[in-house]
Amino acid sequence: MSSQGPHSDKNCKGSFREKLLIIGSNLGVEDVEHLKFLCRDLVTHKKLEKSSSASDVFEHLLAEDLLSESSPFFLAELLYIIGQKKLLQYLNYTKEKVEHLLPTQRRVSLFRNLLYELSEGIDEEKLKDMIFLLGDSLPKTEMTSLGLLAFLEKQHKIDEDNLTVLEDLCEKVVPNLLRNIEKYKREKATQIVIPPVDKEAESLYQGKEELFSQTEVKTFLEALPEGVLVFLNKGDSGNWSDDL
């Protein structure tokens, strides 16, 4: 990490990319891994895996129109989540402003934010206990708490609607984290919106509207070769040609 401090007024001026470079210079390796994890729903895993610096991540966000000089909130949200609130000044945000806008402008899903929060609450000893409980289902490699949760997600053992494995692990190892899961469930429940019924589709199912109009049937038949049309007229007891 650069020793360059985040408080210089001079650094708050300049081009947008210069500001991004300064922000990146104040982020460590762990911060970059956190950014990559939080972006997983919006940037492909392949691109994120190849990203080794904050600048790489920012470049992907710019390319995906997730970040721009006129709309930098997503990056502000990311910095807020990973606890780099002092860097918000480079994007003309404050902690209070981000908190005010989050309910309506958040891009990081509640589920991804939950996993990040849980990872922050799992220390090295608790992580060892979780790995022990999961046993042979895990690869024999070094894992961070965030890496463990990402692996469980990748293996489809957890998702936004299935937290059984997480709840079981937390209950046995870090019971206080169950509060985070319950909070997530409450917030997710308030986000569920029942879509309005498509009245046209509903009437089709109820038989209140013909699937094809007489005009559409006529157009279809007229487009058929003459021999086929004669065959249909002879073979159909309804004698469509009389109706048309």
CATH code for residues 10-107: 1.10.533.10
Prediction pTM value:
0.72
The phi, psi pair for 238, rounded to 5°, reads -80, -15
pLDDT at 7 over 50: no
pLDDT tens-place string over residues 169-221 = 999 999 999 999 999 999 999 875 545 445 444 444 444 444 455 555 555 55
pLDDT at 159 over 60: yes
Give the model's pLDDT for residue 136.
84
127, 148 in Cβ contact below 8 A?
yes
Domain spans, the chain: 10-107, 112-191, 199-243
Fold of 112-191: Death Domain, Fas (1.10.533)
Determine the Cα–Cα distance for residues 240 and 233; give it in Å rounded to an integer. 6
Q: Does the fold of domain 112-191 match that of domain 10-107?
A: yes
Determine the Cα–Cα distance for residues 162 and 169; give it in Å rounded to an integer. 13
The phi, psi pair for 152, rounded to 5°, reads -60, -35
Neighbour-count burial for 104-140, b at 16+ CB within 10 Å, e otherwise: eeebbbbbbbbbbebbbebeeebbeebeeeeeeebee
